[in-house]
Amino acid sequence: MKFLDEYRDGELAQKLAAEIHRATTKPWTIMEVCGGQTHAIVKFGIDELLPKQIELIHGPGCPVCVTPLEMIDKALEIAARPEVIFTSFGDMLRVPGSTTDLLSVKAKGGDVRIVYSPLDAVKLASENPAKEVVFFGVGFETTAPATAMAVFQAAQNGLKNFSMLISHVLVPPAIEALMSSPNCRVQGFLAAGHVCAVMGYEEYFPLVKKYRVPIVVTGFEPLDILHGILMVVQQLEAGRAEVENQYARAVTRAGNQPAQALLKKVFQVVPRKWRGVGEIPQSGLGLAGEYTAFDAEKKFGLADRHVDEPADCLAGLILQGQLKPHECPAFGTKCTPEHPLGATMVSSEGACAAYYRYRRH
Protein backbone atom coordinates (compact mmCIF):
# COMPACT_ATOMS: atom_id res chain seq x y z
CA MET A 1 0.00 0.00 0.00
CA LYS A 2 1.36 3.37 -1.03
CA PHE A 3 2.74 5.65 1.72
CA LEU A 4 2.76 2.68 4.07
CA ASP A 5 4.77 -0.20 2.66
CA GLU A 6 7.69 2.16 2.02
CA TYR A 7 7.87 2.72 5.77
CA ARG A 8 7.79 -1.00 6.56
CA ASP A 9 10.69 -2.05 4.35
CA GLY A 10 12.64 -4.84 6.02
CA GLU A 11 16.04 -4.01 4.49
CA LEU A 12 15.85 -0.32 5.36
CA ALA A 13 14.76 -1.27 8.87
CA GLN A 14 17.87 -3.45 9.25
CA LYS A 15 20.07 -0.61 7.98
CA LEU A 16 18.58 1.87 10.47
CA ALA A 17 18.94 -0.68 13.25
CA ALA A 18 22.62 -1.12 12.32
CA GLU A 19 23.09 2.65 12.49
CA ILE A 20 21.51 2.71 15.95
CA HIS A 21 23.92 -0.05 17.03
CA ARG A 22 26.87 1.98 15.73
CA ALA A 23 25.67 5.17 17.44
CA THR A 24 25.05 3.58 20.84
CA THR A 25 27.93 3.45 23.32
CA LYS A 26 26.04 3.71 26.63
CA PRO A 27 22.72 2.54 28.06
CA TRP A 28 19.81 4.89 27.33
CA THR A 29 16.18 4.90 28.38
CA ILE A 30 13.77 6.31 25.84
CA MET A 31 10.01 6.74 26.18
CA GLU A 32 7.63 6.59 23.27
CA VAL A 33 4.79 8.81 24.41
CA CYS A 34 2.03 7.50 22.18
CA GLY A 35 0.22 4.19 22.56
CA GLY A 36 0.05 3.89 18.77
CA GLN A 37 3.85 3.83 18.75
CA THR A 38 3.89 1.25 21.56
CA HIS A 39 1.70 -1.04 19.48
CA ALA A 40 3.82 -0.59 16.37
CA ILE A 41 6.97 -1.37 18.40
CA VAL A 42 5.53 -4.58 19.80
CA LYS A 43 3.59 -5.58 16.67
CA PHE A 44 6.56 -5.27 14.34
CA GLY A 45 9.11 -6.35 16.94
CA ILE A 46 11.08 -3.10 16.58
CA ASP A 47 12.66 -3.42 20.03
CA GLU A 48 14.13 -6.79 19.02
CA LEU A 49 16.30 -4.98 16.48
CA LEU A 50 17.76 -2.54 19.04
CA PRO A 51 21.01 -2.83 21.01
CA LYS A 52 20.58 -4.25 24.51
CA GLN A 53 21.63 -0.93 26.05
CA ILE A 54 18.53 0.81 24.74
CA GLU A 55 15.43 0.41 26.84
CA LEU A 56 12.12 1.58 25.46
CA ILE A 57 9.53 2.45 28.06
CA HIS A 58 5.93 2.96 27.19
CA GLY A 59 4.31 6.29 27.86
CA PRO A 60 0.91 7.60 28.86
CA GLY A 61 -0.27 8.39 25.32
CA CYS A 62 -3.21 6.03 25.16
CA PRO A 63 -6.33 8.19 25.29
CA VAL A 64 -8.61 5.33 26.24
CA CYS A 65 -6.30 4.21 29.04
CA VAL A 66 -5.97 7.56 30.75
CA THR A 67 -9.68 8.38 30.75
CA PRO A 68 -10.46 8.38 34.48
CA LEU A 69 -12.71 5.77 36.03
CA GLU A 70 -15.22 8.35 37.16
CA MET A 71 -15.65 9.52 33.57
CA ILE A 72 -16.29 5.94 32.44
CA ASP A 73 -18.86 5.56 35.23
CA LYS A 74 -20.56 8.77 34.12
CA ALA A 75 -20.64 7.44 30.55
CA LEU A 76 -22.18 4.18 31.74
CA GLU A 77 -24.85 6.02 33.71
CA ILE A 78 -25.77 8.29 30.80
CA ALA A 79 -25.72 5.44 28.26
CA ALA A 80 -28.18 3.38 30.33
CA ARG A 81 -30.84 6.12 30.25
CA PRO A 82 -33.79 5.24 28.01
CA GLU A 83 -33.94 8.62 26.26
CA VAL A 84 -30.24 8.58 25.29
CA ILE A 85 -28.36 7.50 22.18
CA PHE A 86 -24.80 7.23 23.48
CA THR A 87 -22.09 7.50 20.82
CA SER A 88 -18.42 6.67 21.20
CA PHE A 89 -15.27 5.64 19.40
CA GLY A 90 -15.15 1.84 19.19
CA ASP A 91 -12.37 1.09 21.61
CA MET A 92 -14.04 2.84 24.58
CA LEU A 93 -16.74 0.17 24.60
CA ARG A 94 -14.74 -2.53 26.36
CA VAL A 95 -13.14 -0.26 28.95
CA PRO A 96 -14.18 -1.37 32.43
CA GLY A 97 -15.92 1.10 34.74
CA SER A 98 -16.48 0.41 38.45
CA THR A 99 -19.10 -2.25 37.79
CA THR A 100 -19.64 -2.76 34.08
CA ASP A 101 -18.67 -1.52 30.57
CA LEU A 102 -20.48 0.09 27.64
CA LEU A 103 -20.79 -3.21 25.73
CA SER A 104 -22.69 -4.66 28.71
CA VAL A 105 -24.90 -1.57 28.93
CA LYS A 106 -25.67 -2.11 25.24
CA ALA A 107 -26.45 -5.80 25.86
CA LYS A 108 -28.95 -4.76 28.54
CA GLY A 109 -30.79 -2.51 26.08
CA GLY A 110 -28.87 0.78 26.21
CA ASP A 111 -28.63 2.48 22.80
CA VAL A 112 -24.84 2.59 22.49
CA ARG A 113 -23.44 3.20 19.03
CA ILE A 114 -19.93 3.30 17.55
CA VAL A 115 -19.23 6.37 15.45
CA TYR A 116 -16.16 7.09 13.37
CA SER A 117 -16.38 10.85 13.75
CA PRO A 118 -18.03 13.12 16.31
CA LEU A 119 -19.78 14.74 13.33
CA ASP A 120 -21.72 11.47 12.88
CA ALA A 121 -23.09 12.03 16.38
CA VAL A 122 -24.23 15.54 15.42
CA LYS A 123 -26.01 14.04 12.41
CA LEU A 124 -27.69 11.46 14.64
CA ALA A 125 -28.93 14.27 16.89
CA SER A 126 -30.48 16.10 13.92
CA GLU A 127 -32.14 12.90 12.75
CA ASN A 128 -33.48 11.93 16.18
CA PRO A 129 -34.96 15.09 17.71
CA ALA A 130 -36.90 13.09 20.31
CA LYS A 131 -33.68 11.51 21.64
CA GLU A 132 -30.78 12.94 23.64
CA VAL A 133 -27.60 12.20 21.67
CA VAL A 134 -24.40 12.19 23.72
CA PHE A 135 -20.86 11.85 22.34
CA PHE A 136 -18.00 10.61 24.50
CA GLY A 137 -15.20 13.03 23.59
CA VAL A 138 -11.92 11.44 24.63
CA GLY A 139 -8.40 11.63 23.28
CA PHE A 140 -5.39 13.88 22.98
CA GLU A 141 -4.91 16.89 20.73
CA THR A 142 -5.29 14.51 17.78
CA THR A 143 -9.03 13.93 18.22
CA ALA A 144 -9.87 17.19 20.02
CA PRO A 145 -10.34 19.29 16.84
CA ALA A 146 -13.01 16.90 15.52
CA THR A 147 -14.81 17.09 18.87
CA ALA A 148 -14.53 20.88 18.75
CA MET A 149 -15.95 20.95 15.23
CA ALA A 150 -18.91 18.80 16.31
CA VAL A 151 -19.75 21.18 19.18
CA PHE A 152 -19.28 24.16 16.89
CA GLN A 153 -21.66 22.69 14.29
CA ALA A 154 -24.20 21.66 16.91
CA ALA A 155 -24.21 25.25 18.20
CA GLN A 156 -24.56 26.67 14.71
CA ASN A 157 -27.50 24.34 14.00
CA GLY A 158 -29.10 25.22 17.34
CA LEU A 159 -29.26 21.57 18.41
CA LYS A 160 -30.72 21.22 21.88
CA ASN A 161 -30.63 17.41 22.08
CA PHE A 162 -26.88 17.05 21.65
CA SER A 163 -24.23 17.04 24.33
CA MET A 164 -20.73 15.78 25.00
CA LEU A 165 -19.03 14.00 27.84
CA ILE A 166 -15.59 15.53 27.51
CA SER A 167 -12.38 13.96 28.76
CA HIS A 168 -9.80 15.40 26.39
CA VAL A 169 -6.20 15.51 27.59
CA LEU A 170 -2.99 17.27 26.56
CA VAL A 171 0.46 15.76 25.98
CA PRO A 172 2.95 18.46 27.11
CA PRO A 173 1.60 18.68 30.71
CA ALA A 174 1.86 14.88 30.94
CA ILE A 175 5.52 14.97 29.86
CA GLU A 176 6.11 17.72 32.38
CA ALA A 177 4.45 15.66 35.14
CA LEU A 178 6.58 12.63 34.23
CA MET A 179 9.82 14.59 34.15
CA SER A 180 9.18 16.28 37.49
CA SER A 181 8.58 12.93 39.21
CA PRO A 182 11.58 11.84 41.35
CA ASN A 183 11.23 8.28 39.96
CA CYS A 184 11.56 9.38 36.35
CA ARG A 185 14.14 7.37 34.39
CA VAL A 186 13.34 8.80 30.96
CA GLN A 187 16.34 10.29 29.15
CA GLY A 188 14.72 11.02 25.81
CA PHE A 189 11.27 11.16 24.25
CA LEU A 190 9.67 10.13 20.98
CA ALA A 191 6.87 12.70 20.82
CA ALA A 192 3.57 11.62 19.26
CA GLY A 193 3.57 12.58 15.58
CA HIS A 194 -0.18 12.90 15.16
CA VAL A 195 -0.55 15.16 18.18
CA CYS A 196 2.14 17.38 16.69
CA ALA A 197 0.45 17.33 13.27
CA VAL A 198 -2.30 19.33 14.98
CA MET A 199 -0.34 21.31 17.59
CA GLY A 200 3.08 21.69 15.97
CA TYR A 201 6.06 21.35 18.33
CA GLU A 202 6.59 24.83 19.70
CA GLU A 203 5.36 23.64 23.11
CA TYR A 204 8.29 21.27 23.54
CA PHE A 205 11.09 23.85 23.46
CA PRO A 206 10.56 24.96 27.10
CA LEU A 207 10.49 21.30 28.22
CA VAL A 208 13.76 20.51 26.45
CA LYS A 209 15.38 23.50 28.06
CA LYS A 210 14.03 22.91 31.56
CA TYR A 211 14.73 19.16 31.79
CA ARG A 212 17.68 18.81 29.40
CA VAL A 213 15.93 15.97 27.57
CA PRO A 214 15.85 15.36 23.80
CA ILE A 215 12.38 15.25 22.24
CA VAL A 216 12.01 13.93 18.69
CA VAL A 217 8.63 14.25 16.98
CA THR A 218 8.16 10.76 15.52
CA GLY A 219 5.75 8.95 13.21
CA PHE A 220 4.15 5.55 13.64
CA GLU A 221 5.57 3.20 11.03
CA PRO A 222 8.55 0.96 11.81
CA LEU A 223 11.04 3.08 9.85
CA ASP A 224 9.72 6.26 11.48
CA ILE A 225 10.17 4.82 14.94
CA LEU A 226 13.65 3.43 14.23
CA HIS A 227 14.64 6.78 12.73
CA GLY A 228 13.20 8.64 15.76
CA ILE A 229 15.15 6.38 18.12
CA LEU A 230 18.34 6.97 16.12
CA MET A 231 17.84 10.75 16.35
CA VAL A 232 17.30 10.58 20.13
CA VAL A 233 20.36 8.34 20.59
CA GLN A 234 22.53 10.66 18.48
CA GLN A 235 21.47 13.61 20.66
CA LEU A 236 22.07 11.69 23.89
CA GLU A 237 25.47 10.44 22.77
CA ALA A 238 26.47 13.98 21.77
CA GLY A 239 25.14 15.48 24.99
CA ARG A 240 22.54 17.53 23.12
CA ALA A 241 18.93 18.14 24.22
CA GLU A 242 16.89 19.57 21.37
CA VAL A 243 13.51 19.36 19.71
CA GLU A 244 13.81 17.60 16.36
CA ASN A 245 11.21 16.57 13.84
CA GLN A 246 11.49 13.09 12.34
CA TYR A 247 7.91 13.18 11.01
CA ALA A 248 8.35 16.13 8.67
CA ARG A 249 6.05 14.61 6.06
CA ALA A 250 3.11 15.30 8.38
CA VAL A 251 4.28 17.79 11.01
CA THR A 252 5.30 21.45 10.81
CA ARG A 253 6.62 23.56 13.65
CA ALA A 254 3.43 25.63 13.78
CA GLY A 255 1.02 22.73 13.25
CA ASN A 256 -2.51 22.94 11.92
CA GLN A 257 -3.48 26.49 12.78
CA PRO A 258 -7.18 26.44 11.83
CA ALA A 259 -7.57 23.40 14.09
CA GLN A 260 -5.76 25.18 16.91
CA ALA A 261 -7.99 28.25 16.46
CA LEU A 262 -11.09 26.07 16.73
CA LEU A 263 -9.74 24.41 19.89
CA LYS A 264 -9.20 27.86 21.43
CA LYS A 265 -12.72 28.93 20.53
CA VAL A 266 -14.55 25.88 21.90
CA PHE A 267 -12.35 24.67 24.75
CA GLN A 268 -10.50 26.00 27.77
CA VAL A 269 -7.55 24.35 29.47
CA VAL A 270 -8.64 22.69 32.72
CA PRO A 271 -7.12 20.39 35.36
CA ARG A 272 -7.83 16.76 34.47
CA LYS A 273 -7.66 13.44 36.27
CA TRP A 274 -5.65 10.74 34.45
CA ARG A 275 -6.59 7.18 35.16
CA GLY A 276 -4.04 5.58 37.45
CA VAL A 277 -1.95 8.75 37.59
CA GLY A 278 -4.14 11.28 39.39
CA GLU A 279 -4.91 14.89 38.64
CA ILE A 280 -2.44 16.82 36.48
CA PRO A 281 -2.85 20.60 36.50
CA GLN A 282 -3.74 22.28 33.21
CA SER A 283 -3.69 18.93 31.42
CA GLY A 284 -7.16 18.71 29.92
CA LEU A 285 -9.65 20.47 27.73
CA GLY A 286 -13.15 21.39 28.87
CA LEU A 287 -15.94 23.24 27.07
CA ALA A 288 -15.71 27.01 27.32
CA GLY A 289 -18.13 29.95 27.24
CA GLU A 290 -21.36 29.44 25.31
CA TYR A 291 -20.33 25.86 24.49
CA THR A 292 -20.76 24.74 28.11
CA ALA A 293 -24.43 24.34 27.14
CA PHE A 294 -23.30 21.11 25.44
CA ASP A 295 -21.69 19.69 28.58
CA ALA A 296 -23.31 16.29 29.25
CA GLU A 297 -22.02 16.21 32.83
CA LYS A 298 -24.07 19.33 33.58
CA LYS A 299 -27.05 18.26 31.50
CA PHE A 300 -27.38 14.96 33.34
CA GLY A 301 -26.40 16.31 36.77
CA LEU A 302 -23.17 14.31 37.12
CA ALA A 303 -20.58 17.08 37.49
CA ASP A 304 -19.98 16.42 41.20
CA ARG A 305 -19.57 12.65 40.94
CA HIS A 306 -16.17 11.35 42.10
CA VAL A 307 -14.91 7.75 42.05
CA ASP A 308 -11.67 6.32 43.41
CA GLU A 309 -9.49 4.05 41.28
CA PRO A 310 -9.24 0.37 42.23
CA ALA A 311 -5.99 -0.69 43.95
CA ASP A 312 -5.25 -3.96 42.16
CA CYS A 313 -4.71 -2.45 38.70
CA LEU A 314 -1.19 -1.11 38.30
CA ALA A 315 -1.97 0.73 35.06
CA GLY A 316 -0.81 4.00 36.62
CA LEU A 317 2.74 2.69 37.02
CA ILE A 318 2.65 1.27 33.49
CA LEU A 319 1.40 4.55 32.02
CA GLN A 320 4.28 6.36 33.73
CA GLY A 321 6.82 3.86 32.45
CA GLN A 322 7.70 2.60 35.93
CA LEU A 323 6.51 -0.94 35.27
CA LYS A 324 6.39 -3.16 32.18
CA PRO A 325 3.04 -4.88 31.56
CA HIS A 326 4.39 -8.41 32.06
CA GLU A 327 5.86 -7.37 35.43
CA CYS A 328 2.35 -6.76 36.81
CA PRO A 329 1.25 -9.72 38.99
CA ALA A 330 -2.23 -9.64 37.46
CA PHE A 331 -0.98 -9.69 33.84
CA GLY A 332 -2.46 -12.60 31.91
CA THR A 333 -3.92 -14.15 35.05
CA LYS A 334 -6.38 -11.91 36.91
CA CYS A 335 -6.28 -9.44 34.03
CA THR A 336 -6.93 -10.44 30.38
CA PRO A 337 -8.67 -8.69 27.46
CA GLU A 338 -11.79 -10.73 28.29
CA HIS A 339 -11.68 -9.82 32.00
CA PRO A 340 -9.67 -6.59 32.20
CA LEU A 341 -8.82 -4.84 35.45
CA GLY A 342 -7.87 -1.65 33.64
CA ALA A 343 -8.15 0.09 30.32
CA THR A 344 -4.54 -0.59 29.33
CA MET A 345 -5.56 -4.24 28.77
CA VAL A 346 -8.37 -3.48 26.30
CA SER A 347 -7.49 -0.33 24.41
CA SER A 348 -6.04 -0.79 20.93
CA GLU A 349 -3.25 1.52 22.12
CA GLY A 350 -2.85 0.09 25.63
CA ALA A 351 0.58 -1.27 26.55
CA CYS A 352 -0.86 -4.26 28.44
CA ALA A 353 -3.02 -5.17 25.43
CA ALA A 354 0.02 -4.99 23.15
CA TYR A 355 2.07 -7.27 25.39
CA TYR A 356 -0.82 -9.67 25.83
CA ARG A 357 -1.57 -9.82 22.14
CA TYR A 358 1.92 -10.02 20.70
CA ARG A 359 4.25 -11.52 23.32
CA ARG A 360 2.29 -13.37 25.94
CA HIS A 361 4.56 -16.44 26.13
Partner 1 sequence: MENKVNFTASCPIPISQYPHVMMAHGGGGTLMHRLLEDVFGKAFSNPILDTRHDSAQFTVPPGRLAMTTDSYVVRPIFFPGGDIGSMAVHGTVNDLAMSGARPLYLSCGFIIEEGLPMETLWRVVCSMRDAAKKCGVQIVTGDTKVVDKGKGDGLFINTTGIGIIEHEKIISPQNVQPGDAILVSGDLGQHGMAIMAVREGLQFESAIESDSAPVAAPVLALVNAGIEIHCLRDLTRGGLASALNEIAEAAGVKIAVEQKNIPVREDVHAACEMLGLDPLHVANEGRFIAFVAANDASRALEILRQHKVSSNAAAVGNVVEKSAPRVTLKSAIGASRILDMPSGEQLPRIC
Binding residues for partner 1, per CB under 8 A?
A: 1, 4-5, 8-10, 13-14, 36, 42-46, 48-49, 63-64, 89-94, 103, 114, 116, 138-140, 142-143, 194, 222, 336-338, 347-349, 356-361
Least CB distance to partner 1 at residue 168 (A): 12
Give the nearest distance from C-beta 333 to partner 1 in angstroms. Answer: 16
CB of 171 to partner 1, least distance (A): 13
- How far apart are CB 353 and partner 1 at their closest, in Å? 9
Q: How far is the CB of 359 from partner 1 (least distance, A)?
A: 6
Residue with Cβ nearer partner 1 (195 or 313)? 195
Nearer of residues 244 and 349 to partner 1, judged by Cβ: 349
CA distances from 80 to 85, 171, 280 (A): 9, 31, 30
Nearer to partner 1, 103 or 238 (CB): 103
- Nearest to partner 1 of 58, 94 (CB atom): 94
Q: Work out how close the CB of 14 gets to partner 1 at its nearest, in angstroms, rounded to a whole number.
A: 7
Of 147 and 161, which has the nearer Cβ to partner 1?
147
Q: Which is nearer to partner 1, 41 or 241 (CB)?
A: 41
